[in-house]
């Protein structure tokens, strides 16, 4: 299996622009998680889905952030408009309900907002 | 609410020395406990986990951890450090019986000196 795939790996954009991060979970996994990692706040769970349905989005910082999962093999995290404080590494992870409680992480997208 | 405290944001050891990374949790009931490792510019990888059964769990790369309910701790150890162990280590908890919502500690950066 290819593991969790994220794109792009790096994104540099200017303040005010829309940013879309993409994630392909491991085939057959039914949970998908979006995390943000910064030096100041560490790893934060933003939102997670079960069977493509958002379960808990309480970690989404504000309305500028939105996430979708149109099917079992694809999810997006969108920031509109982006701000410099959104600069971080964004990770996607997936897991299987009947599995070992392990979350499998993608390589992350490093976002820089100028 | 659950929380995780990792004592020491940076630990430095000599090659061949004992590695001890500390993790304490706060939870109304014993949670599931995890240690993840993050190598530079990579996603997180599971080292080991405790869900039930034997309280001393062994993971990959020679690491092990012991769940001590009375101390609400899950410290990570390795008898002899190797240069390749240099990375950031995260302790995490999730609610027992669930397969979601990992809460991470702030992380401990392990440096191994030759």
What is the full DSSP assignment across B50-69? ESSS-SEEE-GGG-EEEEEG
Answer yes or no: are the C-beta atoms of B94 and B34 closer than 8 Å: yes
Quick one: tokens of B13?
């050891």
State pLDDT tens for residues A38-70: 988 889 999 999 999 999 999 998 899 999 999
Interface residue of B102, B103, B105, B109 to substitute, partner A, most A CBs within 10 Å:
B102
pLDDT tens-digit readout, B45-91: 999 999 888 899 999 999 999 999 999 999 999 999 999 999 999 99
How far A98 CA lies from chain B's nearest CA (Å)?
9
CB contacts under 8 A, A 47-66 vs B, are 48, 50, 55-56
The owner of tokens 């992380």 is B107
């Amino acid at each position: 299996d290819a593991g969790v795939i994220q794109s792009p790996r790096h994104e540099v954009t200017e303040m005010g622009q829309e940013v879309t991060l993409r994630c392909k979970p491991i085939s057959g996994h039914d949970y998908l998680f979006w995390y943000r990692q910064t030096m100041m706040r560490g790893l934060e769970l933003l939102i997670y889905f079960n069977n493509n349905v958002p379960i808990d989005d309480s970690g989404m910082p504000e309305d500028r952030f939105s996430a979708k999962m149109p099917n079992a093999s694809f999810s997006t995290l969108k920031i509109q408009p982006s701000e410099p404080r959104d600069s971080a590494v964004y990770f996607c992870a997936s897991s299987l309900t009947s599995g070992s409680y392990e979350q499998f992480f993608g390589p992350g997208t490093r976002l820089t907002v100028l | 609410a659950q929380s995780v405290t990792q004592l020491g944001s940076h630990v430095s050891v000599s090659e061949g020395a004992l590695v001890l990374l500390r993790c304490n949790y706060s939870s109304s009931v014993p949670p599931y406990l995890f240690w993840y490792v993050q190598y530079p510019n990579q996603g997180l990888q599971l080292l080991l986990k405790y869900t039930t059964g034997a309280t001393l769990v062994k993971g990959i790369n020679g690491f092990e951890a012991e769940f001590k309910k009375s101390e609400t701790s899950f410290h990570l150890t390795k008898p002899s450090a190797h240069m390749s162990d240099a990375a950031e280590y995260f302790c995490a908890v999730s609610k027992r019986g669930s397969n979601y919502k990992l809460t991470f500690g702030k992380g401990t950066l392990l440096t191994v000196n030759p």
